[in-house]
Structure 1
């Protein structure tokens, strides 16, 4: 009887250890940053019109040219993201305008109709500056400048969007249950992928170290 009790106790302890290790493994996975760009080519990305607006220069995506959008369509999360942290290192040249779309979906041409745009703009004539949640929470202040690398960090959890520029929170927005939008607007948190924007031929922007951390 004592042997059976000891055996049961050992099995129970082994199961407990296994559960703890499995939980640690899951937590480690949830806390892992995953690269979306290999620094060499655009594998895992898809562009519609004006594909020549996107190229690779010194391990970064160079964006310059007519209006176009580069959508992530790789294997990570089946390129469908709901809750996540996203970050990339960015550099703008003088007068440049670009953007990072979240919760969007691929479309062949035009400005993406679904999702939010997080602005990349330090000196363009459009006054809505880097970090703005475009047309939702617009910033007039410059937190960074042209010709310098900076980090743009976007976190979406539930109906909340937080944007940080170089670790400074510049936007903290909670989407209401019934947001007021223009008729036909899909500027909503509905899940989706990411996209980088080519705005115009005079806008030159570089993106590198493009990473995502999926959240529960």
Structure 2
């Protein structure tokens, strides 16, 4: 009888453990929709330059080449108000980015929308979760959040109306409200909320970065 009871307790413990793991997995998050299947680049459209900079490896989107942007082109695009989540890992000296409210273009740096910076130890002083060239995160801010190369962190981007929130591992790094009638960023870039898609950036051959568990919740 004791053996039976112990076995039952172990079985129940395993069931509960499995349930908790499932509840915490990205696939189970209420309202979130995966935008990367972990196997192919279906639903993504690469720029026409340096397309070998992107590949899929063991459930991850990997960038490791010359400048090339991967634009989300699935059924959720274009997006206006949304909550985006992804797990990101940088390697030492790497630079990448996550654009939003942007538009497909075959070459060059994206001209539309904003960029959430991906950079832990690259020389650019604008670090991970900066709203690039608008509200920047410093190396000290990033260190205080415990973000390091070769470790996964969770990046969130929330857009509601004119408000942008950039969150790393649950810590808000940027909370920015775009002013009405905001002037253009400069003659080459139109940094303004409107609607658009997500784009991931391959920055240069020395910058190797990984993205996984990409998902979006329309708001």
TM-score of the aligned structures, taking structure 1 as reference length? 0.83
In the other structure, the counterpart of 1:152 is 155
* Cα distance in structure 1, aligned partners of 2:188 and 2:68: 21
In the other structure, the counterpart of 1:63 is 63
DSSP 3-state at the match of 1:132: coil
DSSP 3-state at the match of 2:87: strand
Q: CA deviation at 1:130?
A: 0.2
In the other structure, the counterpart of 2:216 is 212
Q: Which has the larger radius of gyration?
A: 1
* Cα distance in structure 2, aligned partners of 1:212 and 1:59: 17
* Cα distance in structure 2, aligned partners of 1:119 and 1:184: 18
TM-score of the aligned structures, taking structure 2 as reference length? 0.82
* Cα distance in structure 2, aligned partners of 1:153 and 1:184: 27
- CA-to-aligned-CA distance 1:129-153 (integer Å, 9 cap, x gap): 0000000001112231100001000
Q: CA deviation at 1:179?
A: 1.8
- CA-to-aligned-CA distance 1:145-189 (integer Å, 9 cap, x gap): 100001000000000000000000000000000224323531100
Matched, 1:186 2:190: yes
In the other structure, the counterpart of 1:176 is 179
DSSP 3-state at the match of 1:52: helix
Matched, 1:161 2:164: yes
The CA RMSD over aligned residues, in Å, is 0.9
Unaligned runs of at least 5 residues, structure 1? 1-30
DSSP 3-state at the match of 2:129: coil
Unaligned runs of at least 5 residues, structure 2? 1-29
Matched, 1:125 2:140: no
- For residue 83 of structure 2, the aligned residue among 63, 69, 85 is 85
In the other structure, the counterpart of 1:39 is 38
In the other structure, the counterpart of 1:102 is 100
DSSP 3-state at the match of 2:83: strand
Q: CA deviation at 1:70?
A: 0.1
